[in-house]
Amino acid sequence: MLLVEAEHEVEVNPDLLPATLARDGVVLIEQGTVAEVRALLDRWTVPVDHPHQVADGLTVIAPRVRSDVSDNEAGFTDLPLSPHTDRSLHVQPPSVLATLMLAPATTGGVTTLVDGARLLMLVRQRAEDAAVARLRLRTTIGQPGPPVVEFIPGHARIRYRDDRIAGPHSPDGRTDLVAEVRRLTSETTRYLHLSVGDGYLVHNHRFLHGRTAFTGDRRLVRFLARVNSDHPYAWLNRGFPIASS
C-alpha cells in the first residue's frame, strides 16, 4: 500500500501520516487492502461506531436494491452525494475518515473533495467571523442544528451538509452569506477517480467529501475513527488550525 500527498504525488511515510494529515487535511491511498488500512488506522486512532457498520467503524457503501430508501440511507444508492462532513449532526463527529474502493462504478461515481480550510478562508474574506459563527445546520423540517463552523481559539471545526436532511441556514437572515457558502463550496470542489485499491484519508473536521451519481455495482469501504487521546496529534479531534482574522 502506498500513501501519497494529494497535491505533490510524493510518497508519505506511514509514521508521518498523522503529521501530513494535520498539515494537508488529506492523504491518498494507492494499491491498498482493507486489512492494511485498518492496521494503519489502529496505530493511532480508535474506531467510531456507525449504525450501518459491519465491523467496528467499518461500513460497506454500496447500492441497495430497494425503492423506499430513506434520506438517511442515500449513501446506499446510486444517487449523487453533495460534499459533506460525516456525522455532521452528531455531538462529536469522527475526526478521521478513510475510504477504499473495492469495485468502481461502471460510469460516474467520481469522488468529490472540498478543502474546508480553503473554503473557510474565502468565506472569511467576505464576512465577519461573528456572522460565520452564527450559521447553523437546519433540518428540512426546521429543527436547528449545530454551527456550520465552530471557532475555537486558533482552530475551527466544520460541520457541513446540504441535502434532504439538513442544510446551512442563517438565523440572522443572511441569505447572501448562505448563498456564498454554497457557491464557494461548488467552486472549490475537486474530483478524484478511484480505481480498485485506491482511496483517501481525510480530516473529517476539515475536508468535505461526496460523489457523483453512478451506474453499476460501485462498492467502497469507509472507516470512521478518532485520534487516540494520548497521541501527539489528538488535537485533530478538536478541529484544524486557522489564523486569527
Give the pTM. 0.95
Q: What's the pLDDT at 67?
A: 47
For 117-141, the pLDDT digits (tens) are 999 999 999 999 999 999 999 999 9
Torsion, Cα 101 20 116 140, to 10 degrees, reads: 50
Of 235, 244, 245, the residue nearest 23 (C-alpha):
235
Beta-carbon contacts of 143 under 8 Å, excluding residues fewer than 6 positions away, are none
In the structure grid, which three cell numbers stand for residue 172, read together? Answer: 440572522
Do the beta carbons of residue 114 and residue 185 sit within 8 Å? yes
CATH code assigned to 2-239? 3.60.130.10
In the structure grid, which three cell numbers stand for residue 16, read together? Answer: 508521518
In the structure grid, which three cell numbers stand for residue 67, read together? Answer: 425503492
- In sequence order, what E strands does 43-95 have? 45-47, 58-61, 81-84
Q: What's the pLDDT at 65?
A: 57
In the structure grid, which three cell numbers stand for residue 222, read together? Answer: 469507509
Q: What's the pLDDT at 212?
A: 98
Hey, where are the domains in the chain?
Answer: 2-239
Rounded distance between C-alpha atoms, residue 10 and residue 85, angstroms = 26
Query: Which segments of the chain have a pLDDT < 50?
Result: 67, 245
For 226-236, the pLDDT digits (tens) are 999 999 999 99
